[in-house]
Amino acid sequence: MHTLTYAVLDTETTGFYYDRGDRLVEIAAVKIRDGKIVPEDNFQSMINPERSIPLSASRVNHITDEMVASAPKFAEIVDEFEKFLADVDYVFIHNAKFDLSFLKAEYARCQRALKLPKVVCSVELSKAFYPELRTHNLNAIAKRFDLEIKEGELRHRALGDVILTGEVILKFYEENPLIFLGSLESLENREFCG
């Protein structure tokens, strides 16, 4: 783990269905270098979804129409986002299929193809390391490792969730150092990236 650069990525959206018009409202990523989260080496942006945010989504992610009204559109931040990931070997995304479906849709709107470093879903990584566990959501995994779950604005916000996911990834490595990289290689770019 100490020789590679990792990023943890998360998005927040207006809903669950990119194919029904739901859009990104926030994106964040943080880097892990030398086996440590580097909180100051992060990318975070609110995104104007060019549509209203349903109350049901705002209740979860605490993001309102007022907060994104003057935010940039995705097309305005895509180059900076790609630059942030340029030196990354692996990107961890919790429930990667969901986030990647929204990212692909946003890239398509920009008439670009989504190109990321090797992607590993941290849910799938959890299942590989701990198949005996019944649930692999972020709260359950964090609780298993006695990690502090910051409720309120930090939980279900992209930057707060990437830091928590990063802490989980480091715990995965601590408990599985001999098989960690091999597990990443076997899980990278699964069907959710196709």
Q: What is the pLDDT along the chain (194 residues), one digit of tens a residue?
A: 778 999 999 999 999 999 999 999 999 999 999 999 998 999 999 999 999 999 999 998 889 999 999 999 999 999 999 999 999 999 999 999 999 999 999 999 999 999 999 999 999 999 999 999 999 999 899 999 999 866 554 666 778 889 999 999 999 999 999 999 999 999 987 655 54
Catalytic residue (one of 62, 94, 136, 156): 156
Whether 173 is in a domain gets the answer yes
What is the predicted pLDDT for the residue at 157? 75
Residue 153 sits in which domain range? Answer: 6-193
Number of CB atoms found within 10 A of residue 179's CB: 12
Cβ distance 172 to 77 under 8 Å?
no
What is the predicted pLDDT for the residue at 194? 41
Whether 152 is in a domain gets the answer yes
Whether 39 is in a domain gets the answer yes
62 catalytic? Reply is: no
Residue with tokens 């309120």: 152
- The closest alpha carbon to 83, from 45, 47, 36, 39, belongs to 45
Whether 1 is in a domain gets the answer no
Cβ distance 173 to 35 under 8 Å?
yes
Whether 177 is in a domain gets the answer yes
Instruction: Measure the CA–CA gap between 68 and 101, rounded to whole angstroms.
Output: 21
Domain count, the chain: 1
- The closest alpha carbon to 13, from 54, 43, 72, 67, belongs to 54
Instruction: Measure the CA–CA gap between 121 and 83, rounded to whole angstroms.
Output: 22
Whether 25 is in a domain gets the answer yes
Q: For residue 169, give the CATH number of its domain.
A: 3.30.420.10
Whether 24 is in a domain gets the answer yes
What is the predicted pLDDT for the residue at 153? 46
This prediction has a pTM of 0.92
